[in-house]
Each structure stands twice: as C-alpha cells, then as structure tokens.
Amino acid sequence: MTFKAHLFGSYDNAINFMGRKTDRPYGHGRATRIIRTDNGVGVRYHNTIVVEYLPNGIRLNSGGYRTMTTKSRINDALDCIPDVGRVFQNRGIWYLMSTVFFDGMIVGYDGRIKGQNKRQSDKRIKEVNKQTKSIKAYTKTIADMIQNGTLPAPSLGDCLYCQFREVKTGSPLGEVIQHDHIALHLEESYIVGSLIKRAIEVYGSMFVKGSISHVWSGQPITDWERDILVRDVPRMVARYIKSQLAIAN
C-alpha cells in the first residue's frame, strides 16, 4: 500500500494508513517517506518533515529549502484539504492563499489557516524584497571580481560560519545552526571565498569547479573560461544564498 493523496484528508486517515508501521513508501518521487512522528504522521523529504498530520490540522515546513520539490510535497497534502488552494510563488516569496507562507504554519482540515499575522507577512515581504536587491548587488560584485582577477579565495580569515564544517555532515556551520550570518554578509557587502566555494560545491558543474580552482591557485585560464565563470558563478551564489535565507528561487 503506497501513498495516495485522497487517503490523507484527515488525521485519522493518516494514522490508519500507517497501521502498525513506522515507515512507509511515499509512492512517487525520490527521497520521500511517510513516517510516524511523536505527534502524528509526517511526510519526510530528505531530512525535513515537510508535512505533519496532527489532530488539529497539517503542519507545513520547508526546512528553509524553498524548492520546487518541497513545494510539490506540500501541495500534495494541501490537495486533500477543501477550499485552501496550493502554495505558489511570487517574486521569491511563497504564499498560501493570501498568506505569506511560514514554516510551522498549520492548516486545519476545514481549510482554515491558523496563526495568520498580517504584520509578520508584511515584514517578510519587505525583508525578501530588500534581500533580493542585495543579492543582485552582491553577485554583481562577484562577477566584476572574476572579470578583473580579484575574486578572494577561501581562506582561514573567512567568516567562521562559512569556513568551518560540521564533522558529521561536512556542511558549513552556518547551514547546520541556521545562523543569520549570510544576511549580515549582504548588508556589509562582504565577499567571502568560502561562501562562494560552498555555492559551487552545491550547484556547480565539474567545469566550473575545475576553472575556479585554477583561478584560486593562480593558474591562467582562457578568456572563454573566464566568461563562463562570470556568467555562472554569480548565479550559483545567488541560488545558494536564497536557499539559506528561505527565498524561493
């Protein structure tokens, strides 16, 4: 028995679906399972419980990853709830109906969104708009630095949250503890080599990884290679920063 959206229109349906099991296949898509949680039943995508079925409704959580797949998993659950619609994106912000999406929001089985706060929504819209403009300026500086050969390499003098890694996962500390250091880097226009390196690790092609290593080691590259870096590296950095600031790409 695998996941079918119509089975999850209520908490009881989710519990009955699990039976005595603690883990079941989702039915479509990779890296997704249906699991027992302390409070009910959850849809786990990678390491994040993106949907949790509770007695009073479903709790939604992107884990900070505002990706198309995360949104798809959330919308699978919302399709079972009457009169609530789906999560959609506009200018880097997720919305559910007229409400700005926030991690931890609960949608009742009657379709009502619990904990709406217009002041918080307006604040989030302003914050994302400001950060989006800052990201454009930040990545424009990176492009200029690549072009003129002044892009800083990763070093021991970099931000500690960007530089040091957690032993267990190999992820930068800033990703593990979700520190707001990247927002501060944007405000200060602090171009961090270790941040750029991480963005390329996550989103870069083998070509970009090889070419940027040549740049940082002082080896010559062709004009064609430099043009590719000028085009692609800022995009990768923008995508990475948005993922860390919970801004939809």
- CA atoms of 173 and 248, how far apart (whole Å): 22
pLDDT tens figures, 226-246: 999 999 999 999 999 999 998
- DSSP letter at 205? -
Tell me the whole-structure pTM to 2 decimals.
0.82
**Mean pLDDT on 11-34:** 90
Phi, psi of 233 (to 5 degrees): -60, -45
One-letter amino acid for residue 186 of the chain: L
pLDDT tens figures, 56-105: 999 999 988 899 999 999 999 999 888 888 999 998 999 998 889 999 99
Phi, psi of 83 (to 5 degrees): 65, 25
Give the H or E element holding residue 90: strand 87-90
The SS3 of residue 9 is: coil
pLDDT tens figures, 105-132: 999 999 988 876 778 888 889 999 999 9
What is the pLDDT of the chain when averaged over all its residues? 91
